[in-house]
């Protein structure tokens, strides 16, 4: 892969089907060896975007380049550079795993000797060697996902695009999938992953792009996105007994009374109050001092880390409420706009 | 309790746009059939013979519709439910197996009745012409409903065993055609004789609804050659139909239980890891063991062709070898009859049997192998994976077609020894045999290209297979049905013109089989079939190229 070009550069990529706009001016860039998570609800345009990147759909407007090569004009070159795993496995009846991989290896023009060696390697990488003689249609969903990844790795592509790789997997399989994706990124491959399982993505992605109704709502690293969504943070304070809750809640409310939209919630069963506020760390230190002065026994005082799920929900909810959040004008780069 | 199932079976189809189109198309087809034979001259028919001619055409049209359309619904019903997981829900409900079965059966029969109702205006027109009684119409519709019930029971039985929707459709159509057409074969060649073989042939043809229908229309026999049979075919068929339906229904109901779902996934046993004795045994049994570990695909072989062979059970080498062996044995046995030389079994008769068998095989196998070549990929999601490889659309297409040409060619070639023996017995037939082989080869390509081209326009393999079978049968069987009505109602020139479209008829006329010796179909038939094959190939090329392009 050329060092000068980014691994993936998408500029104002648009796809329309008649009057319906499936994807509207998507602009993103990924550097080599990074993992981009593409998230969004069903029908948000994720798969449409992916199909244009791998040359299975032609953009109505805009361009997409992988390592400097145009995805729609040079689709033959792109096929050799990209490993694509669609959300549907694509099993063939009566075919064993090795036969299945052998076929795709031959289709990619890999010589027989090299292919046989390569099949062993990719099965090893995906921890699927024990499945080599099994029929692909009889494999469980998790096993099929692994074979799907093995298939994408056969021709050793620089860019890997996985559409919902963790979909339908059990927790153990998800952890294994996450480790596998990290391992692939560590080996220098650039990954684009879509998923509905947001905690999984937040653990592995360097960058995240959030799509909603075909539009890019946010793009950047997770902390950047969180910062762009809201300046508020949530603090959780746990007490030694639930009897302390009324007094502590009163102190908390008084403390945040100067902030109009601060929120305080109580959870007596856990002996916890949560305060969502825009106050700084030093100001929050003052709250802790007031609680201790009031002789309330504090067990824990911590800030809750916002995750991708919060970001995603914030963006989708804000949009439904009609408040414009990171609704990037198509002429600007969304990453900058959200920061 | 089964009311819900009946409603679902009926409603789920009737509310689709496809159902509306099907009903409209059938109404137009039946009206056209009547209009085609509607008298337009000023003659008066005192005995109602002309109205009976219209009635026969209409009746055969109805029968063709039942044979072509009715198997698809039951063939897909149980296997689709099992794949989608709804069969487990049904079996987990308090409903009894017979109630589930009856609900499905009545739902499907209701659907076929709705489709048959589209023919009532045309039937009324036939009756209005005179010469047809209400009893005639009732007998025809009664027989058609029985045939529909037979095929529904057969389809559901196959569906309870099938692993995939398309294999269920293929097997059901194969059995339906065997029941409707192949059962007529023995009697065609043995009629008028005495002895066990002749009697057996007489009984076997009673299983065919075509023979029963012909008797209802007063036509006595298929290719009767003036011989009047005393057998009451229609009554025998009713008895056969009722027993066969009941038998298959009980068989299927006995399978509707947890065992249908309680099946282990294949462990992927591989011969290479078995003991020496097992390996030797499997080598002897299979010659080409399907469970041995395969070497990689060589560079000079089209990978798509290899993939097609490997993904089809029938495509596996051991199945091909078995098929070819059977063909060699049957053709040599038939040739042996010729060499022994009894008065009735001359070269033309034996050649005719051989041609009919080969045609039957080609017609049964071509759509089953070819119709799903593209649609199966699209249905399973494999087409997108293929598009993501650097393999060109032309290479994909040639690989897929080669995977069909090879087995079919081997089957054809396997029968050549039989033809050689016949040429040896009667050297003057050499020219005819060569013509027959050309006809068979053309049929092979025609059937394959037609099925692949038509199938490529559908997303579902089951629909593709049905469409391919229907069109191929239209080309091959409809002219044969017109031939059955030769001289009355159809004139010699009409029959000859229609037979020109059928490669099967051309092969039979080339070998001068009884009933076909008066028709000169070659070389016009070759030009038509060759031309149509070229058109289908072109259509297929364009469709494959279109599907390979970015959306």
Question: Residue B268 is nearest to which of A72, A90, A96, comparing CB atoms?
Answer: A96
The pLDDT of residue B192 is 67
Q: Is the Cβ pair A102, B387 closer than 8 Å?
A: no
Report, as an integer, the average pLDDT of A292-318: 79
The region, left, alpha or beta by phi > 0 then psi within -120 to 50, assigned to residue A226 is alpha
Same domain, B245 and B328: no
The answer, yes or no, to whether residue A104 has pLDDT greater than 80, is yes
Angle, CA of B188, B193 and B195, to the nearest 5°: 115
Residues in chain A: 339
The pLDDT of residue A327 is 40
Mutate to test the interface with B, among A55, A92, A98, A116 (most CBs of B within 10 A): A92
A325: pLDDT confidence band, cut at 50, 70 and 90? Answer: very low
Same domain, B245 and B99: yes
Distance (Å, rounded) from C-alpha B372 to C-alpha B362?
16
Nearest CA-CA distance, residue A68 and chain B, Å: 19
Q: Is the Cβ pair A102, B294 closer than 8 Å?
A: yes
Domain final residue, candidates B241, B257, B273 = B257
Same domain, B356 and B493: yes
- Residues of the domain holding B504: 314-548
Same domain, B249 and B367: no
Nearest CA-CA distance, residue B381 and chain A, Å: 5
Within-domain flag for B289: no
> Residues of B with CB below 8 A from A106's CB?
296-297, 299, 303, 306
Question: A-B interface: how many C-beta pairs under 8 angstroms?
Answer: 111
Within-domain flag for B371: yes
Q: Is the Cβ pair B388, A84 closer than 8 Å?
A: yes
Q: Where are the alpha helices (DSSP H) in B290-428?
A: 303-311, 317-340, 347-370, 372-380, 382-387, 393-414, 416-425
Nearest CA-CA distance, residue B269 and chain A, Å: 7
Q: Is the Cβ pair B297, A104 closer than 8 Å?
A: no
Nearest CA in chain B to A85: B385
Is A56 at the interface with chain B, CB within 8 A? yes
> Residues of B with CB below 8 A from A56's CB?
384, 387-388, 550-551
Query: Residues in chain B whose beta carbon is closer than 8 A to a beta carbon of chain A?
Result: 163-164, 265-270, 293-299, 303-304, 306-307, 310-313, 316, 380-382, 384-391, 549-551
Is A151 at the interface with chain B, CB within 8 A? yes
Same domain, B100 and B171: yes
Same domain, B245 and B375: no
The pLDDT of residue B148 is 93
Is A118 at the interface with chain B, CB within 8 A? no
The pLDDT of residue B118 is 85
> Residues of A with CB below 8 A from B307's CB?
92, 95, 103
Q: Is the Cβ pair A106, B306 closer than 8 Å?
A: yes
Nearest CA-CA distance, residue A75 and chain B, Å: 9
Is A20 at the interface with chain B, CB within 8 A? no
- Tell me the three state secondary structure of residue A61: strand
Token pair recorded at residue A291? 């609680």
Nearest CA-CA distance, residue A45 and chain B, Å: 15
User: When comparing pLDDT for A297 and B328, which is higher?
Assistant: A297
Provide the chain A residues 202-231 that lie in CB contact (below 8 A) with chain B. none
The answer, yes or no, to whether residue A315 has pLDDT greater than 60, is yes
Where in chain A does DSSP place strands (E)? 8-17, 20-30, 35-39, 61-66, 69-70, 82-85, 159-163, 190-194, 207-212, 215-220, 233-239, 263-267, 272-277, 298-304
The pLDDT of residue B228 is 53
Same domain, B248 and B359: no
Same domain, B61 and B150: yes
Q: Where are the alpha helices (DSSP H) in B500-523?
A: 503-510
Question: Residue A103 is nearest to which of B297, B313, B390, comparing CB atoms?
Answer: B297
Is A17 at the interface with chain B, CB within 8 A? no
Q: DSSP code of A83?
A: E
Closest to B366 in 3D by CA, of B477, B437, B445: B445
Is A86 at the interface with chain B, CB within 8 A? yes
The pLDDT of residue A333 is 41
Token pair recorded at residue B334? 């038939």
- Tell me the three state secondary structure of residue B486: strand
Within-domain flag for B481: yes
**Chain-wide mean pLDDT for chain A?**
83
Mutate to test the interface with A, among B166, B296, B383 (most CBs of A within 10 A): B296
Token pair recorded at residue A332? 């600007």
Q: Is the Cβ pair B296, A104 closer than 8 Å?
A: no
- Output b/e per residue, A14-50; b: 16+ Cβ within 10 A: bbeeeeebbbbbbbbbbebbbbbbbbbeeebbbbbbb
| Site of tokens 């390979």 | B548
The answer, yes or no, to whether residue A334 has pLDDT greater than 60, is no
Report, as an integer, the average pLDDT of A239-252: 90
Q: Is this structure's pTM higher than 0.90?
A: no
Distance (Å, rounded) from C-alpha B457 to C-alpha A161?
29
> Residues of B with CB below 8 A from A151's CB?
385
Question: Residue A116 is nearest to which of B164, B296, B312, comparing CB atoms?
Answer: B296
A317: pLDDT confidence band, cut at 50, 70 and 90? Answer: low
Question: Residue A94 is nearest to which of B311, B385, B550, comparing CB atoms?
Answer: B311
Beta-carbon-side half-sphere exposure of residue B372 (alpha carbons within 13 Å): 26
Token pair recorded at residue A43? 């029908």
Distance (Å, rounded) from C-alpha B456 to C-alpha B464?
7
Segment A111-169, tens digit of pLDDT: 889 999 999 999 998 888 998 889 888 888 888 888 999 999 999 998 999 988 887 77
% of chain A exceeding 90 in pLDDT: 23
Q: Is the Cβ pair A112, B551 closer than 8 Å?
A: no
Within-domain flag for B127: yes
Q: DSSP code of B460?
A: S
Token pair recorded at residue A194? 């879509």
% of chain A exceeding 70 in pLDDT: 89
Domain final residue, candidates B257, B273, B302 = B257
Same domain, B502 and B423: yes
Distance (Å, rounded) from C-alpha B435 to C-alpha B438?
5
The pLDDT of residue B345 is 60
Is A48 at the interface with chain B, CB within 8 A? no
User: How do A82-85 and A69-70 pair as beta strands?
Assistant: unpaired
Domain final residue, candidates B257, B290, B324 = B257
Distance (Å, rounded) from C-alpha B402 to C-alpha B508?
27
Within-domain flag for B305: no
A329: pLDDT confidence band, cut at 50, 70 and 90? Answer: very low
User: When comparing pLDDT for A23 and B424, which is higher?
Assistant: A23
Within-domain flag for B513: yes
A323: pLDDT confidence band, cut at 50, 70 and 90? Answer: very low
Q: What is the pLDDT along chain B (551 residues), one digit of tens a residue?
A: 567 777 777 777 777 777 788 888 888 877 776 776 666 565 555 556 667 777 777 788 888 888 888 888 899 888 888 887 888 888 888 888 888 899 889 888 988 888 888 888 888 877 777 777 888 889 889 999 999 999 999 999 999 998 888 788 888 988 898 888 778 877 766 666 677 777 788 888 888 888 888 888 776 555 445 545 556 888 889 999 999 999 999 999 999 888 777 777 777 778 888 888 888 888 777 777 778 878 888 888 899 998 888 887 666 777 777 878 887 887 777 677 666 655 456 667 777 777 777 787 788 788 888 988 999 888 888 888 888 888 888 999 999 999 999 888 887 888 777 788 778 877 777 888 888 888 888 988 999 999 999 999 998 888 888 888 888 888 887 787 778 667 666 778 888 888 888 888 888 888 877 778 888 888 899 999 999 999 999 999 999 999 988 87
Q: Is the Cβ pair B389, A135 closer than 8 Å?
A: no
DSSP labels, B52-95: HHHHHHHHHHHHHHHHHHTTHHHHHHHHHHHHHTHHHHHHHSS-
Same domain, B180 and B318: no
Same domain, B238 and B375: no
Question: How many structural domains comprise chain B?
Answer: 2
Is A138 at the interface with chain B, CB within 8 A? yes
Token pair recorded at residue B68? 């072509």
Surface-to-core class of residue B202, CB atoms within 10 Å of its CB (0-12 exposed, 13-18 middle, 19+ buried): buried
> Residues of A with CB below 8 A from B303's CB?
103, 106-107
> Residues of A with CB below 8 A from B381's CB?
86, 88-90
Same domain, B362 and B250: no
Q: Is the Cβ pair A90, B385 closer than 8 Å?
A: yes
Report, as an integer, the average pLDDT of A91-100: 86
Q: Is the Cβ pair A94, B312 closer than 8 Å?
A: yes
- Output b/e per residue, A113-149; b: 16+ Cβ within 10 A: eebbebbeebbebbebeebbbbbbbbbeebbbbbbbb
Within-domain flag for B266: no
Question: Residue A92 is nearest to which of B295, B311, B390, comparing CB atoms?
Answer: B311
Q: What is the ipTM of this complex?
A: 0.74
Mutate to test the interface with A, among B385, B547, B551 (most CBs of A within 10 A): B385
The pLDDT of residue A320 is 47
Within-domain flag for B294: no
Q: Where are the alpha helices (DSSP H) in B94-133?
A: 97-117, 120-128
Q: Is the Cβ pair A95, B386 closer than 8 Å?
A: no
> Residues of B with CB below 8 A from A55's CB?
388, 550
């Amino acid at each position: 892969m050329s060092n000068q070009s980014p691994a993936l550069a998408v500029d104002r990529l648009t796809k329309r089907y008649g009057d319906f706009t499936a994807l509207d001016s998507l602009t993103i860039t990924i550097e080599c060896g990074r993992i981009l998570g593409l998230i969004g609800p069903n029908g948000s345009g994720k798969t449409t975007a992916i199909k244009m990147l791998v040359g299975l759909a032609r953009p109505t407007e805009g361009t997409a380049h992988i390592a400097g090569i145009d995805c729609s004009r040079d689709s033959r070159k792109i096929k050799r550079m990209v490993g694509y795993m669609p959300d549907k496995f694509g099993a063939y009846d009566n075919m064993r795993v090795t036969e299945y991989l052998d076929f795709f290896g031959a289709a990619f023009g890999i010589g027989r000797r090299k292919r046989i060696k390569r099949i062993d390697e990719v099965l090893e990488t995906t921890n699927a060697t024990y499945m080599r003689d099994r029929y692909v249609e009889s494999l469980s969903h998790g096993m099929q996902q692994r074979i799907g990844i093995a298939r994408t790795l056969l021709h050793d592509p620089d860019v890997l695009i996985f559409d919902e790789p963790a979909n339908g997997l059990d927790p153990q399989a998800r952890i294994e999938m996450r480790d596998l994706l990290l391992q692939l990124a560590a080996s220098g491959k650039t990954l684009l992953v879509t998923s509905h399982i947001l905690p999984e993505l937040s653990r592995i992605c360097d960058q995240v792009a959030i799509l909603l109704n075909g539009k890019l709502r946010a793009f950047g690293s997770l902390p950047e996105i969180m910062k762009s969504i809201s300046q508020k943070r949530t603090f959780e304070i746990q007490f030694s007994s639930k009897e302390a809750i009324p007094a502590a809640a009163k102190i908390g409310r008084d403390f945040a009374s100067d902030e109009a939209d601060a929120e305080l919630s109580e959870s007596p069963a856990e002996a916890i109050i949560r305060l969502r506020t825009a106050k700084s760390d030093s100001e929050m230190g003052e709250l802790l001092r007031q609680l201790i002065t009031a002789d309330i026994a504090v067990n824990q005082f911590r800030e809750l880390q916002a995750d991708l799920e919060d970001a995603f929900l914030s963006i989708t909810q804000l949009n439904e409420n009609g408040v414009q959040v990171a609704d990037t004008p198509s002429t600007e780069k969304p990453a900058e706009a959200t920061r | 309790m089964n009311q819900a199932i009946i409603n679902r079976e009926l409603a789920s189809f009737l509310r689709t746009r496809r159902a509306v189109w099907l009903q409209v198309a059938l109404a137009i087809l039946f009206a056209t059939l009547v209009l085609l034979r509607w008298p337009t001259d000023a003659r008066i028919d005192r005995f109602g013979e002309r109205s009976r001619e219209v009635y026969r055409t209409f009746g055969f049209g109805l029968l063709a519709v039942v044979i072509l359309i009715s198997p698809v619904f039951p063939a897909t019903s149980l296997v689709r439910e099992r794949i989608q997981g709804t069969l487990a829900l049904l079996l987990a409900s308090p409903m009894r197996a017979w109630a589930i079965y009856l609900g499905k059966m009545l739902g499907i029969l209701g659907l076929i009745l709705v489709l048959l109702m589209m023919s009532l205006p045309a039937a009324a027109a036939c009756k209005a012409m005179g010469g047809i009684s209400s009893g005639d119409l009732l007998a025809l519709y009664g027989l058609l409903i029985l045939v529909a019930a037979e095929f529904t029971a057969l389809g559901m039985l196959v569906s309870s065993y099938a692993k995939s929707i398309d294999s269920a459709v293929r097997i059901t159509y194969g059995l339906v055609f065997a029941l409707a057409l192949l059962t007529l074969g023995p009697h065609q060649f043995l009629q008028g004789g005495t002895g066990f073989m002749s009697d057996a042939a007489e009984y076997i043809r009673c299983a065919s609804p075509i023979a029963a229908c012909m008797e209802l229309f007063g036509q006595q026999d298929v290719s009767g050659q003036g011989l009047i049979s005393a057998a009451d075919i229609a009554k025998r068929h009713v008895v056969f139909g009722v027993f066969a339906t009941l038998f298959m229904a009980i068989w299927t109901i006995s399978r509707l239980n947890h065992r249908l779902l309680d099946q282990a996934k294949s462990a992927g046993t591989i011969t290479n890891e078995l003991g020496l004795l097992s390996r030797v045994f499997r080598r002897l049994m299979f010659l080409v063991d399907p469970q041995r570990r395969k070497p990689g695909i060589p560079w000079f072989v089209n990978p798509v062709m290899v993939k097609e062979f490997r993904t089809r059970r029938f495509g596996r080498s051991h199945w091909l070898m078995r098929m070819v062996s059977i063909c060699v044995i049957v053709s040599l046995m038939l040739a042996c009859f010729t060499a022994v030389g009894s008065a009735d079994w001359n070269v033309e008769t034996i050649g005719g049997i051989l041609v009919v068998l080969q045609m039957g095989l080609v017609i049964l196998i071509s759509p089953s192998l070819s119709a799903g070549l593209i649609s199966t990929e699209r249905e399973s999601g494999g087409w997108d994976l293929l598009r993501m490889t650097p393999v060109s659309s032309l290479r994909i297409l040639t690989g897929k077609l080669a995977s069909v040409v090879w087995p079919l060619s081997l089957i054809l070639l396997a029968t050549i020894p039989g033809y050689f023996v016949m040429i040896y017995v009667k050297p003057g037939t050499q020219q005819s045999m060569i013509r027959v082989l050309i006809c068979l080869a053309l049929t092979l390509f025609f059937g394959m290209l037609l099925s692949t081209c038509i199938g490529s326009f559908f997303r579902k393999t089951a629909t593709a297979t049905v469409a391919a079978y229907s069109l191929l049968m239209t080309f091959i069987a409809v002219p044969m049905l017109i031939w059955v009505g030769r001289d009355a109602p159809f004139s010699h020139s009409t029959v000859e013109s229609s037979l020109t479209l059928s490669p099967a008829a051309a092969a039979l006329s080339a070998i001068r089989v009884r009933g076909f010796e008066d028709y000169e179909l070659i070389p016009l038939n070759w030009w038509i079939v060759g031309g149509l094959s070229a058109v289908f190939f072109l259509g297929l090329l364009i469709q494959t190229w279109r599907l390979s392009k970015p959306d």
